[in-house]
Chains A and B, each alone.
Chain A
Amino acid sequence: MNLNWLIIVPLLTALAVLPFRQLRQIRLIALAGSAAQLLLSLVLLRLFLQHPEAKLSGAMLFESSYSWFEPLHINLHTGIDGISLSMILLTALVVLAGVLVSWKMEKMSREFFFLLLLLSAGAYGYFISLDVFTMFFFLEMAVVPKFLLIGIWGSGKKEYSATKLVLMLMGASALVFVGLAGLYFNHPAGEHTFSMTVLANNPPTADVQRFFFPFAFIGFGVFTALFPFHTWVPDGHSSAPTAASMFLAGISMKLGGYGVLRVATTIMPEAASYYAPYIIVLSAIAILYGSFATMMQTDLKYINAYSSVSHTGFVLFGIGMLTKTAIAGAVIQMVSHGLMTALFFAVIGMVYERTHTREVAKMGGLLKAIPFISTVFVIAGLTSLGLPGFSGFVAEMMVFIGSWENSGVLHRTATIAATASIVVTAVYILRAVGKVIMGPVEHKAYFDFRDATWNEKLAAILLIAGIVAIGMAPFLINDLIAPGTEAIMEKLSASTR
Chain B
Amino acid sequence: MLQDLLILMRAELMLILIIFLLLFLKLGSASLRNETVMNMVNGLLLVVLALGFLVKDSGMIFGNMFRTDDLLRLEKNMLTLGTLIISLQSYQWLKKHDQAMEFYLLMLSTLLGMFFMLSAANLLMFYLGLELSTIPLAAMVNFDFNKKQSSEAGFKMIVSSAFASGLLLFGISWLYGTTGTIDFSGLAASLDGSPLQLFAFITLVAGFGFKISAVPFHLWTADVYEGAPVPVTSYLSVISKGAVLFVFTSVLYSVFHAMGTVWYNMIFIIAVATMITGNLFALRQDNLKRFLAFSSIAQVGFMLVGISGQSREGAAALIFFVLIYIFSNLAAFGVITLVSSASGRERISDYRGFYQSNPALTWILAIALFSLAGIPPTAGFFGKFFLILAGAGKGNWLLITIAALNMIISLYYYLRIIKAMFMEHNASPLAKVDIPFSPRIALAICVAGILITGLYSGAYQYIYQLLS
| A residues at B contact (CB < 8 Å) | 68-72, 136-138, 140-141, 144, 147-148, 151-152, 158-159, 162-163, 166-167, 170-171, 174-175, 177-178, 181-182, 184-185, 211, 215
Do the beta carbons of B392 and A147 come within 8 Å of each other? no
Do the beta carbons of A151 and B313 come within 8 Å of each other? no
**Interface class of chain A by DSSP:** helix
Q: List A contacts of B313 (CB < 8 A).
A: 71-72
Q: List B contacts of A174 (CB < 8 A).
A: 404-405, 407-408
The residue of chain B having its C-beta at the shortest distance from the C-beta of A143 within the complex is: B375
Contact of A181 among B370, B375, B389, B405 (CB under 8 A): B389
Known A69-B460, A140-B376, A162-B419; further 20 A-B contacts with Cβ < 8 A: A69-B461, A71-B316, A71-B465, A140-B375, A141-B377, A147-B415, A147-B418, A151-B419, A151-B422, A152-B422, A152-B423, A158-B423, A167-B408, A174-B405, A175-B401, A175-B404, A177-B388, A177-B404, A181-B389, A182-B397
With both chains docked as a complex, state the minimum distance between the C-beta of B351 and any C-beta of chain A, in angstroms: 15
CA of A178 to CA of B388, assembled, Å = 9
Do the beta carbons of A144 and B370 come within 8 Å of each other? yes
With both chains docked as a complex, state the minimum distance between the C-beta of B452 and any C-beta of chain A, in angstroms: 14
Contact of B376 among A141, A171, A181, A185 (CB under 8 A): A141
Do the beta carbons of A167 and B457 come within 8 Å of each other? no
Do the beta carbons of B457 and A181 come within 8 Å of each other? no
Do the beta carbons of A181 and B422 come within 8 Å of each other? no
Do the beta carbons of B411 and A170 come within 8 Å of each other? yes
CA of A170 to CA of B409, assembled, Å = 10
The residue of chain B having its C-beta at the shortest distance from the C-beta of A139 within the complex is: B376
With both chains docked as a complex, state the minimum distance between the C-beta of B200 and any C-beta of chain A, in angstroms: 33
Do the beta carbons of A72 and B389 come within 8 Å of each other? yes
CA of A152 to CA of B421, assembled, Å = 10
Do the beta carbons of A171 and B460 come within 8 Å of each other? no
Asked if B381 is at the interface (CB within 8 A of a chain A CB), the reply is yes
7 pairs of A and B residues whose beta carbons are closest in the complex: A174-B404, A181-B392, A71-B464, A151-B423, A141-B376, A171-B408, A69-B457
Do the beta carbons of A181 and B377 come within 8 Å of each other? no
With both chains docked as a complex, state the minimum distance between the C-beta of A218 and any C-beta of chain B, in angstroms: 12
CA of A71 to CA of B457, assembled, Å = 10
CA of A147 to CA of B422, assembled, Å = 11
> For residues 317 through 364 of chain B, which have their beta carbon under 8 Å from a beta carbon of chain A?
none
With both chains docked as a complex, state the minimum distance between the C-beta of A179 and any C-beta of chain B, in angstroms: 10
Q: List A contacts of B412 (CB < 8 A).
A: 163, 167
Most-contacted residue by chain B among A174, A185, A215 (CB, 10 A)? A174
Contact of B423 among A72, A159, A211, A215 (CB under 8 A): A159
The residue of chain A having its C-beta at the shortest distance from the C-beta of B316 within the complex is: A71
With both chains docked as a complex, state the minimum distance between the C-beta of B241 and any C-beta of chain A, in angstroms: 25
Known: A166-B411, A167-B412. A185 touches B392 (CB 8 A): yes
> For residues 420 through 468 of chain B, which have their beta carbon under 8 Å from a beta carbon of chain A?
422-424, 457, 460-461, 464-465
Q: List B contacts of A166 (CB < 8 A).
A: 411, 415
CA of A69 to CA of B423, assembled, Å = 36
| B residues at A contact (CB < 8 Å) | 312-313, 316, 370, 375-377, 381-382, 385-386, 388-389, 392-393, 395, 397, 400-401, 404-405, 407-408, 411-412, 415, 418-419, 422-424, 457, 460-461, 464-465
With both chains docked as a complex, state the minimum distance between the C-beta of A348 and any C-beta of chain B, in angstroms: 23
Can you name 14 A-B pairs with beta carbons within 8 Å?
Answer: A69-B457, A69-B460, A69-B461, A71-B460, A72-B389, A140-B375, A141-B376, A148-B418, A158-B423, A166-B411, A167-B415, A171-B405, A174-B408, A178-B404
With both chains docked as a complex, state the minimum distance between the C-beta of A66 and any C-beta of chain B, in angstroms: 10
Q: List B contacts of A177 (CB < 8 A).
A: 385, 388, 404
Q: List A contacts of B407 (CB < 8 A).
A: 170, 174
CA of A163 to CA of B461, assembled, Å = 35
Do the beta carbons of B419 and A70 come within 8 Å of each other? no
Q: List B contacts of A70 (CB < 8 A).
A: 457, 461
**Interface class of chain B by DSSP:** helix
Do the beta carbons of B408 and A170 come within 8 Å of each other? yes
The residue of chain A having its C-beta at the shortest distance from the C-beta of B312 within the complex is: A71
Do the beta carbons of B422 and A144 come within 8 Å of each other? no
Q: List B contacts of A151 (CB < 8 A).
A: 419, 422-423
Do the beta carbons of B316 and A167 come within 8 Å of each other? no
Known: A144-B370, A158-B423, A178-B400. A185 touches B395 (CB 8 A): yes
Known: A141-B376, A178-B397. A72 touches B405 (CB 8 A): no
CA of A152 to CA of B312, assembled, Å = 43
CA of A170 to CA of B376, assembled, Å = 12
Contact of B393 among A144, A178, A185 (CB under 8 A): A185
With both chains docked as a complex, state the minimum distance between the C-beta of A289 and any C-beta of chain B, in angstroms: 25
With both chains docked as a complex, state the minimum distance between the C-beta of A110 and any C-beta of chain B, in angstroms: 10
CA of A141 to CA of B370, assembled, Å = 11
CA of A422 to CA of B51, assembled, Å = 73
Do the beta carbons of A163 and B415 come within 8 Å of each other? yes
Do the beta carbons of A137 and B376 come within 8 Å of each other? yes
CA of A174 to CA of B316, assembled, Å = 22
CA of A181 to CA of B381, assembled, Å = 15
Q: List B contacts of A71 (CB < 8 A).
A: 312-313, 316, 460-461, 464-465
CA of A345 to CA of B225, assembled, Å = 48
Q: List A contacts of B312 (CB < 8 A).
A: 71
The residue of chain A having its C-beta at the shortest distance from the C-beta of B377 within the complex is: A141
With both chains docked as a complex, state the minimum distance between the C-beta of B35 and any C-beta of chain A, in angstroms: 33
CA of A181 to CA of B422, assembled, Å = 35
The residue of chain A having its C-beta at the shortest distance from the C-beta of B423 within the complex is: A151
With both chains docked as a complex, state the minimum distance between the C-beta of B468 and any C-beta of chain A, in angstroms: 10
CA of A211 to CA of B398, assembled, Å = 12
Q: List B contacts of A144 (CB < 8 A).
A: 370, 375
CA of A166 to CA of B388, assembled, Å = 21
Q: List B contacts of A175 (CB < 8 A).
A: 401, 404
Do the beta carbons of B419 and A181 come within 8 Å of each other? no
CA of A259 to CA of B225, assembled, Å = 43
Do the beta carbons of A181 and B408 come within 8 Å of each other? no
The residue of chain A having its C-beta at the shortest distance from the C-beta of B411 within the complex is: A170
Do the beta carbons of B381 and A140 come within 8 Å of each other? yes
CA of A174 to CA of B393, assembled, Å = 17
Do the beta carbons of B381 and A184 come within 8 Å of each other? no
With both chains docked as a complex, state the minimum distance between the C-beta of A232 and any C-beta of chain B, in angstroms: 13
Do the beta carbons of B419 and A159 come within 8 Å of each other? yes
With both chains docked as a complex, state the minimum distance between the C-beta of B398 and any C-beta of chain A, in angstroms: 10
CA of A43 to CA of B301, assembled, Å = 48
Q: List A contacts of B457 (CB < 8 A).
A: 68-70
CA of A70 to CA of B388, assembled, Å = 17
CA of A72 to CA of B465, assembled, Å = 12
Do the beta carbons of B381 and A137 come within 8 Å of each other? yes
Do the beta carbons of B460 and A167 come within 8 Å of each other? no
Q: List A contacts of B376 (CB < 8 A).
A: 137-138, 140-141
Q: List A contacts of B400 (CB < 8 A).
A: 178, 181
Contact of B422 among A140, A148, A163 (CB under 8 A): A148
Contact of B411 among A136, A167, A184 (CB under 8 A): A167
The residue of chain B having its C-beta at the shortest distance from the C-beta of A219 within the complex is: B404
Q: List A contacts of B419 (CB < 8 A).
A: 151, 159, 162-163
CA of A185 to CA of B389, assembled, Å = 9
